[in-house]
Structure formats: C-alpha cells, structure tokens
Structure 1
Amino acid sequence: MAKQHPKTIKHRFVVGLSVIMAVLGTFFAVVISMNLRNQLVTDTEHKASLILSQAEALQAYVKQVLRPSMYDLLPPDGFLLEAMSTSYVTRKVMSDLNVQGEQYRYRRVAHGARNPDYEADGFERGLMERFARDPDLARIEEITDRNGEEVFVAARPVRLDATCLHCHGDPVEAPRAMLARYGDTRGFWRHDGELVGVDAVTMPVAGALGQVKGATISFLALFALGLAVFYLTVQVFFDRLVVVNLGRVTEVMRRYFPKEAGEEPKPAGGDGPRPAAGDGEIEEIYDGIEAFASRLKEAREKIEDHAQNLERKVADRTLELAREADERRADVALFVELLSILNLSQTRAELLGGALGRIAGRFGAVAAAYECEFSGGGFVSWPPGRTPPPSPPGWRRLVAEDSLRLTDDAAFIPVRTTDVSRGLLRLYFPGGDQGPDPEAAELYRAIGQQLGIALENLDAINSLLGQNTLLASIFDGISDPLALLDSGYGVIMANEPARELARALARELAGGDCPAAPAVAGTPLRLPPEFFGPAVPLPDKADTPPLERLSAVEPSASTITLPDGRTFAVTRYPLASPSGQDGRMVVYARENTAERRMREKMRQTEKLVAVGKLAAGLAHEINNPLGVISCYAELLRQSLTDPQAREDLAVIERHAVMAKKVLRDLLDFARPRQATPGPCDLAALVASISRIFDIQAQSRRVRLSSRASAGLPLANADASALEQVLSNLLLNALDAVTPDAGEIVLEAGAGPDDRTVYLRVADNGPGIAPEDAPRIFDPFFTTKEAGRGSGLGLAVVYGLLRDMNGRIEVENSGGAVFTVTLPACPRPGPGQEEAP
C-alpha cells in the first residue's frame, strides 16, 4: 500500500520554485554587483592610464626634446633643473593639474630619493618590491587598502637608462647646479637598468563602491516583490496544469501493477475511483516504478549468470595468450639489453661479461661461456670464478658450418655474422626437464647472430675511436688557428689557437682590454665573419643536388683585416659531406700583422730615403740659380720705370720666393735635424701651440680648443720637433675645415699603462678618403689645390716621429683624427725628483 504524506506535490513544487527563484535573485544581484564593480574598476583604470600616459609623454618630451635643446643652449657644465630633470618637471606639472587632490594623487617616488620629500613610504616600497621580484611586470592596477582607505592604485616601475647616469651616476660627473641644490650624498651611484622607484596614481573608490552596494540592495527588493507576484500566479494555475495529469499517471500504475499497489485488479473496461489530487502523487508514482524495476532485476540476474560462464572461458584463453606474450616480451627485452650493453661497453670482455649473464637468465641456464674461434681471441665465462666444462670436439666446425647443437644439458650456439665466424656460445642447464628447449632453436640462432653483430660493431667503434683520437691529436698540434665549419658557418671543431683567437676577439668586442680567461662552458665558439670569405652565389637549392651545390665553391685564399688592425692570411677548403647534405669547410688562418707592418715601414722608409736623396740634389742644383734670379730681379727693379714692367717683375719675384719655399721644405725633408730625447711636457706644449694658432683660427672664423689630462707623464721626445709636428697637423686641419662652422680639437693624454702618451688633432672637416689613406704620408702627395701645398708636411711628420720612436695613425670620426703616440719617461721612484 502506498504511503500518504501530508505534503502535496503542489506544496513541494511551490516551495522548491521559491527557493530556486531566491537563489536566482541572489545570483543576479551578485552578477549586477560584480558588473557594476568591474565597470567602476574599468573606468578607474582608464583614468589612471590616462594620467600615467600623460606623465610618460611629459617625461619623454623632457628627455628627447627639451633636455637636448637646453644642452645646446647652456654651457657645457650648465644644467637647469626646472627644464632638464624629468622627475622635477613631471611632479611640477602633475601637481598643477591635480589642484583638487580628492580626484587622484600622483607621486613619483624613489628609494634613497635625492629630494627627501619624494622618498617612498611603506606602501610604495611594497610596490617596488613587487616590480623587483618580477622583472617582466610592467604595470600594477588593482583596488587595495592604503592606510585604512579603499583606493585604486596604478603604478609602473622607474628604471634608469644610460642618459640618466649623467645626474645619477658618479657625483663627480653630475651637474654643479644639482650638487649645489641637493648635495652629493643621495640619488647617486646608480647603474643602467636599475629599478629606483615607481610612478603611482591612487584614486579613492570607497564612495563609488557604496553606490554599487545601494544599487544591489534596490535590485534585491524589486526582485522579492516580483517573486511574490509570481508565487500567487503559480498557486492558481498549478492545480489545472500539473496535479490533475499526475493523478492520471498514478491510475495507470494501479491498473497494471495492482498487487504491488495493494489493490485488486480492476475488470477490463472498469473505471475505479481516482485518488484525491495532491495526496502523495509522487510517492505513488515511485512505488509503481519500483515494482517495474524489481521485474527488470530478475531478468538481469539470469543474464549475469550466463555472462559469468562466458567470462570464465575468456579468462582461460587470455591466460594462455598472456603467457605467450610474456615470452615474446622477454625475448625483445633480451635483444634490447644486448644493444644497451653494446652502448656501455668499450672492450670485448665488458660486452661478453654483461651479455652472458642476461642470456643465461633468459633461458634458465646455470652457466655460460664464450670462446673465440681465433687463437688468442679470448675466453669469457659466467658466473665469474666458475670454470665451465670444456668445449665439445670439433666445435670450430660447428661455427664454420653455422650448425646449432642441443644436448640434454647444454646448447652450443655458433656466433657469427653473415659471412664472418666469431666463436662459440655455450649454455649449460641442470639437465632432465630443465634442459634446452628444442622449440627455441630459431631463437638460439638469433641470439648467436645478434651477439656476433654486437662484437663486430664494437670492433668497428674501437677502430673509429682510435682514428678519431689520432686525427684530434694532429688537429690540436697545429700551431696556427684551424677550424672546421658546417654549411651554416657554425664551428664544429677548432684547435686551441683558433679558440684563443675567438676568445680574444670576444673580449675586445665586449669592452676592450681585459685579462685572458677560459671560455665559459656551453658558450658557442664564434669566429669573425671575415674568416668565412666573400659570399658565393650558389645554385638554387630546390633544383640542385647538394654535392653539385658544393662544387660551386672553390678553395680560396685571402688576407683579411680585423677591426683591431690585425691581419690574417686565411685559406678555405670546402669539403663534401658523405651524407649528401651541404658540405663543410676547413678554415686555416696565419697571422701576418707584424710582417705587413714591417713591409709598410720598409716601403715608407725606402720612399723617404729615395725622395731625400732626390730632394738634396734638387735643392743644391736649383737654389743657386734661384739666388741669381732674385738678385738680378732686384737690380732690374731699381732701373725700371714702366709700371707694366714692374708688375711683370713682381710676378717673377713672387714665383722665385715660392720656389725657394719649396726648396726649403725639400732641405728640411732631406736633412731633418736630429731629434733630442725628452723629457717634454705635452700639457705645456699643447697650451703654447694653442695660443700661437688661436689667432689664425680666429681670422679664419674657426673654433680651436685644447685639453690635457691631469697628471700627464712627460714624453721622451724633442719638444721643438713635436712643435713642428703639431704645426703641420694644425695647418692641415685649418685648411680642411669650413669657415664659420669649423672646429679643431687638440688633446694630450696618457696611454692605458702610463708607458705611452699621445697627442690627438681632430677636426670636423670632410676627413680622409679611403683610397687616399694609404698614401697620405708619401712625399709630394697632396689633396690640396695646386700651389697651396708641396705634399711634404706629413712626410716630414712621419720622419720626425720615426726618429723619436713614435708613430702616427689616422682615422675618420666626424672628420680627420690624427693620433701621435710617443714613449713616456719613467715616473720618478720614491725619494727621486722629477726631471725638469
């Protein structure tokens, strides 16, 4: 008999529906609240981003436009904080825009700030720590609590770059105006890329969040009112739409399952009384379905009994198949172990010692042995220390005929490859039922063949390793740089001179002079691109086989010059790859820097000697006739009264004077005075020459400046000769620059180790043409117009410096830059006085 419950289905439905609607109302209220809060956050993020973008644009303008313009207007050591400091200008402008501080608060703060007013507080230091922990974090935007107030904060890190170190690096290099204002203790000794502070914008959001909460509560009130109206409507329509139809379903269950329902079956076509609507309808339907399920259960139990019988048969067959599969897996594992042992073994004894135990374990043998067919080839047994029975008579014939022999307690397996006999593998069993398995004959043969292949591969590997060791010894024994490159110019192998060359070039490219250090493990070896030779146009790779593409590259030799001035004779040999891929290249280099420089000095010296002899002879032969011409021209001037004749005579005298000047230059070049050793004070010499040439520079509207390093060592050179050298260089510079825009800088300094000193003359003229650079020190070579130069000035300079053990170099850097390098006088030791 079905149970009757006081709660009807209508009551349950209405209560459940009310709960669902309440949950939905709460859900929508939460969604609306979250949406309004997200909208508030989005609007606040947009405002904060605009403020930070305005600050970033202002800082970029000061850094890229205003500061460079002020540097052009101010003196070299001038600095105007109000126009050149990005932090000062940003704070000033953003403070003026934020007159009403309740809208937002902008702060640019730092840890150890130069101005204590902008030192980061605890909250802002927390932001800096977050940026420091995560270098990839570019911006923080979130709602947080600050001093008990709920605010939205947007912040970005402030990292220094190279342009900021002028004011935040060494205090000695900082602007004087800044030191006078803030001192030299705070805000200095920063480095490039350092995180020093944050730009932060905070906005109060407590009031806006209160409005969001009020809107949410209003929505909940309206939703509750609507829920009440909906509840009344459901009460009216539920009886007619649901309860009556459920009564019809329960009547069907009583008709077909009267026994389970506790009633007598109704006659066919009879109408029984219907149950009262709403009186436990769900329970009645449940009881009917339960009866139907019990019938299904009985049918299922019968089917399960049949299935269990079928499963037992399948399980028995599965066990048989699994046993066979285990045997096959064991065989595969044995072959894999043999390959692994081959990879780990270096000698035949190691290979056989590891393999015999695995093979014996697979077949259940108690002992195993291997004997090589060749005398003295070796004998190995397993387990170690146990001597197995001797080999059967005629066992070499078994190996030669590749014949397998199985007895009651042993298996004799020939070990051989396709055409080479290796030896005999013996497996010994306990005997009886535990002897060798005749059905595994093919497996025994496969094991013997696999062991033979492993021995053959091991012999080949040992031979290859020996050849490789010999090749590596020869390769490393070559004293000049030698490298093997792949088709992409990657270094496959290099000897020690090549590695040392690559490390030296890497140190020079990384920043100049530094002590030699071994290469870091894992760092790829790089050679200069000049070593690879000029690009060779190859055929199209899509249509041409690799070996034909390689034939397009021929062996080549060339001389290359590195950026540091060293030269190498490089020979390149292309190699064909045996795999058919793009070939490789052998690069051999021999440094010939010293030879090249010696040849250049010899050529220059030979030119100077030859031209000196020619100059001496010409000066002697031409000077006397020029003296006679000048004398008679003076006599003619006293007797001539015709103005035209006097003008013609003046032309003769002017060209005679010009010829004498050329002869005087020839005599100075041919018989230069002997330079006396120093000491020479370069700082005083630079100051004296600058005063002498300053008048000429002003007359030509050219700016001439000079500077000398403090504590400059004395030069071991002749002061008068150096004065002549600088005079020639300055005259050439004055001729090269443009009036009103020309600049000439005369500089003196010390070398990196105080063993040398240098003089440098730099101008902003057109510089030296690359094709003229090798010839500028040749006698009579000049790029000036006819009549303005004899071409002997730089040749005389070269000769004087050669006599003083100095050298001169020229380069183009915004104009011509001549650098004279001289030996320095040793500094006086303790208790010694410096030479005057």
Structure 2
Amino acid sequence: MAKQHPKTIKHRFVVGLSVIMAVLGMFFAVVISMNLRNQLVTDTEHKASLVLSQAEAVQTYIRHVLRPSMYELLPPDGFLLEAMSTSFVTRRVMSDLNAQGDQFRYRRVAVRARNPDYEADAFERALMDRFAKDPELTRVEEITERDGEEVFVAARPVRLEASCLHCHGDPASAPKALIARYGDKRGFWRHDGELVGVDAVTMPVAGALGQIKGATFSFVALFALGLGVFYLTVQLFFDRLVVVNLRRVTDVMRRYFPKEAGEEPNAPPGEGEIEEIYAGIEAFASRLKEARGKIEDHAQDLERTVTARTRELAHEADERRSDVALFVELLSILNMSQTRAELLTGALARIAERFGARAVAYECEFSGGGSVSWPPGDSPPPPPAEWRKLVAEDRLRLTGDAAFIPVRTTDVSRGLLRLYFLPDGPGPDSDATELYRAIGQQLGIALENLDAINSLLGQNALLASIFDGISDPLALVDSSFGIILANEPARELARALRRELGGAVAPPPVAIPGAPLRLPPEVFGPAPGDDAASPAAMARIDPTISTIDLPDGRSFAVTRYPLASPNGQDGRMVVYARENTAERRMREQMRQTEKLVAVGKLAAGLAHEINNPLGVIACYAELLRQNETDPQALDDLAVIERHAIMAKKVLRDLLDFARPRQASTGPCDIAALLKSLSRLFEVQAQARKVRLETTIDDNLPVARADASALEQVLSNLLLNALDAVSPETGEVRIAARPGPDDDSVSILVSDNGPGIPPQDLTRIFDPFFTTKEAGRGSGLGLAVVFGLLRDMGGRVEVENADGAVFTVILPACGPACQEEAS
C-alpha cells in the first residue's frame, strides 16, 4: 500500500473539517434569523392586539355607558360628537396615545366615510374585500408591504349595529349637530350588520427586520472568524501531533543509524514540511533562549513595573468609582426632578464635574427643539451643522476640545450632549468612549422615564376627572365590600340618606379617605344572596345586576362589575347605582291602566246585559206592591226592591267605570272645592263622632283639572277614610299644598285608622278589590279614582304613616291654561 504523505493527509483533514463547520455555521445562521423573525412577529402581534383591544374597550365604553348617559342628559335632538361618536373619540384617544406615529399607526376608516379624511385607501379596501369574502374572518394579522415599506398589519372589520343607524341611517332622523358638521351626503343609508370599514393598526417592521439581518450577518462574521481561529488551531494541533511522531522516528534513526541520520539524501515529496518543522523547532529553541535572556534582563525591573501598574490600576479604579457615583446621582436627580429642565440642569452640572468640562449643553431633537446649558448664563458654542445626523447614526465624535455624545435609548433618538473643554486642557478622553456612550444612554433613559411619569400622571388626572364627572353614584369596593373610592354623586347619596332616614344607614367597614360620611351598604354592599365574608363572591366573571329598595321608598338598579386580581385572592368590584324609582312607578301605573281597560270592557258588557232584567224585576215588584195587602208579602217585596236598587247602583258604578265622562282640563280652584267638600262631609263626620281637619296653603296655585271629576275622586277618598277610622277617636285630615317649582298641586287625604296591609298596597286600585266587609263596597271606588286622575293627567299615590295617606297630584294650570278657559 502506498504511504500517504503527511502534507496530503493534513490538507484533506483540514479542508473536510472546514466544509463541515461552514455548513453548520450557515445552518445556525438560518435558524437564528428565523427565530428572531418569529419573535418579532409574536411581539408585534401582541402590541397590535393591545392597541386594538384598547380601541375596542374605548368604543364599548362609549357605546354602552357614555352614550346612554349623554342621551339622558341631552335634549331629545341633542348629540355631542366628542362624547357619543365611537369613531371620533377612538381616533382622538388613539392619536393622543401615539402622537408621533413612530410606534404604530391606528386608523379607523370606512367606505363613503362621513369625514373624507378617513376614507379607506386602496390598501384598506383590500382588507375590507377579504372580510367581505369571508364573513367568518374576524382578524387579519400579517407582515406585508405598504407604500414600499414592510409593515405589520392587524385589522378587524367594522360592522354596524342597530344602535348605530341613528347616526348612519336616514339623514332625516340623524342628529342635527352631525348634519351641521358633515352634511347629509356621506356616511348615511347604512343598514344593520353592514361592513362599512376596518380598524387597522400598522407597525413599521423594516427597521427590526434590518436589525435581524444585521444580527445574522454579525453572527456569520463572528462564526467565520471563529472558524478561522479553529482552522489555525487544528493546523497547530495536527502539526504538533505529526511533528512529535516524526521526532520519535528521528531519534530512533539517530540511535540505530547515526551515519544515515547525518546524510542529506533527496527528500521525497512531503519531507520538506518535516524539515521546516525541524527548523522551526530550532528557531523556537533559539527564540526561547533569547526570551530567557530577556526575562533575566527584565527581572530586575519587575518590582518597578508592578508598582507602576498598581498605580495605574488604582487610578482606573478611582475613575470607575466616580462613574458609578455619577450614575447613582443621575438616578437621584431623576427622582427629585419634576420637569425636563430640572433634570437636565442637575445632570449637566454633575457630568461637567465628572469629566472636568468647562461647559455642557444638551440639544433636544424633538419637534420644537430647545437647548439647555451649564453653567447658567453662559452661551456655549453652537452645535455642529450635522448634529442631527450624528444622533440618527448614533455616532460619537471627539475633537481636540469637545465631545459630541448622542443621547438615545434603544430605538429612540432624543438629542445631543455636548462637552466643551479648555483649549489648553487635556480635552476628552479617547479611552472613555464606552463611558461617554453609557452617559448618553443613561441620560436618554432618564428623560424617557420622566416623560413616562408625566404621561402617567396626566392619564391618572384624566381618569379621575372622568370618574368624578359620572352623574350616577359609582364606587370601587374591596373584597370585604369596604369602599376604596367613590364619586361625588355617591357621597351625595349617602348625605341624602342620612338626612331622610335620620342616620339609620349603617356604615360599611371602610370609610372614604378624607370624607366625613360613609357610603350606604344597602346600595354599595354585596348583592342579595352573596356571602360578604367570602372573597369567592368577588371572583365571578359576569357582572351582577340587582334592584335595591331603600326604606324611604326609593329604589336603585345596582350593577356590580367584579375585577379579578392576578393572584385571585384580593378581588375588587366596581359598583354602579342608578335610581329607577320613577321608572318603577310608571310601570306600576301602566299595569294599573291595562287592568282598568280590560275590566272596563268587561264591565260595560255586563252592565248592559244585567241592567234590563233588573229594571223588569223592579217594575214587577212595584206592580205587585200595588195589588198586595199581606204584610209578609209586602216585606218580601221590599227586600226584592232593596236588593234590586243595590244591584242597579253597582251597575251604575260599573257604567261610570267603563264609560268615564270626558274630563275637562280647565282651571280648577282647589281651595274653593276643598272648602265645599269640608262643609259637606263635616255633617257625616259629626254623625260618626269623627274629627275632620282641613289645611289649605295660602299660595296654592290653580290646578288643571275637571272640578266635578275631582269632587268625585275626593268624595271617594273621604268616604273610605271615614269608614276606616273608629268613632270617638277617629281623625281625617285634608291638606293641599303646591308642588316643587309650583308646577303641580298635591292634595293629601289621611286618617289615623289601621292603615292598609303591606301586601295589599299594590292591589287596592285593582277593580273589584276591597278590604271592606261583604255588602259594604263594590271594589270600584279606588279604580274609578285612578281612572279619573289618569284622564286628567294626574296620579294618586298611597302609603302608610300612622294610618293610610292618599296623595293626589295634579298639574298646575299655567297662564296658557287660564287663557284657554277665559
């Protein structure tokens, strides 16, 4: 077998190993590039999702909370674009959050948009076409190219709901403020569920992709450098391995063949390398000898060299301690500063002290510019003409008497820091370039943190203003249902309850900081059925809605929104209360009206069918009486006539109830009417040994009512009151007084009887319902009262207060009413 020469073996080994390492390097470069790109896509998706979620949260809040509240506050045709338009508010909020547009770009666009500035362009129309073709598609997230730039796009469709058609449907029914601002041509004639536009967030990724490419190329370069070092190392290792073996062979030859070892025959191919190795070893030995001589020569200077180096290291350590102290002081200045000027003034003075500069200046790169210098009052030289380019390229420039340091964070350029030294001084330290860069980056981070703190304080103040501006009671409670925060309407509710209930409201476990009152637990405590002592009640995901009835007769619709904490132990809850007393009363009146209508139709039919037979019975009883002389028969006929007359009275009540006369709405003098009724019923009261008391306010306005109908109403109420009280001790009171703002008149009929059982309070106005004994009442009196007052535009209320209290409320007769009557 032919012997392979060492040079051939070395060449093949090194070439094969180099190819393997190059393939591995390319593989790892591709893997790193793909991983960085995937990480970029993931981070960008998260940021875009947060932006879209924030936009959706703002729209949901406006649609379900702010817009209904504004409709309640504004007149029927009122519309406030800045508070009720989801598109307008979302664009303003998202623009404020990203005023520079360098982090992301949020656009809410539409086809035939009301505002032409937000008309969808070709790129956004393409997104709408994708959503239109696939109705199941709810989100698009991808990296694409827009206007020649690589961007990440996250978009979701905008489809109209039924509530949106008030402003986007027929222009004739749209708010006048909207028509006045945008006209009636664009943004109308939409329909429910129509795809009208998209919410799109675009984030530039070209820079990040460039950084990924740069990182990949850097890895390839470093790997190539490492491969070169590895190549040289393998060469040395191979040479050493071969040379050692050849030396052993040479020693054997010299021991056993001294003559042949001294000859110099023609060396075969490959042995020239061995000779070179041998010569190299000789040269190495010679160099080793020379080095040994030098070491001996330098041994005497070793102590002096060590001492000098020790001094250098001590000086360097002092500089490092000064650098650390500088960074610590910069952090301290940031903590004590409230404005950029305070931060820069303190930082520039400390930087000048550290580097021995005669003057320091900072040039802001943001729009508006601005410069801060130290010492105060001195004007440093102007910055170089290309200073913005220095900052953009993150280039540090050192001259003979100045240092220009870019101030920036990881991806944001903020300005230029300039240090000026004395012309005859040492000038900037060329070995401290990394320190200069670190100072610039630290100053940039401090400015960024200060801006973030100021922005956070501004957002906090804005949220506090919104919270206090909500007109309904609103509070934040902890897991023990103690009040953490409450707005002014909630506090006003607490004060009102204490005034009305005489302090009967028990305080919750936690008081409002800085407030003398505690909020009522009847409203802001746990919902009915909740375990207030268990934090599990706060862990529910869905909000709970309940109706709370207070002892003073008012009721509240209370909505509780649980806020789950990250650890799931100390949850909080937002409680929103809206008074619905008037709504509930209106629903009760509507139900009562429906009952009266149904029973009225039945009563009309019954009265018509029964009245004729009763007339025949009465007529024949009268005929029999004329021809009858037997006393027993005459008594029987009297019974028949008496009950027939009673039945006809019930039928007459039915007819009055079923076919009430049309009540006029002219002016009615309540004072005169009450005085007349008082004289009329005073005789009955004296006969029953009951005290009748009448109180009429001197400033009582004229009511808008039918005097005869109102007389019938009050007569029914007075008869019921006389029947309810006991002889000797009974009292019946009539009082009339003006309502709030003199827009109504209230008439109270009260007694000191047993009152009305609580379970019957909601039924006393029902037809045929009576609490009297059989034969004493038909159960139609209060139903007729309710119907007559309804026809006159009034209402009647009842409550128990040391007896039954009926309150008749009638509208006051204004000047227009009195002019019509005249």
Q: TM-score normalized by structure 2?
A: 0.48
Of structures 1 and 2, the larger Rg is shown by 1
Q: TM-score normalized by structure 1?
A: 0.47
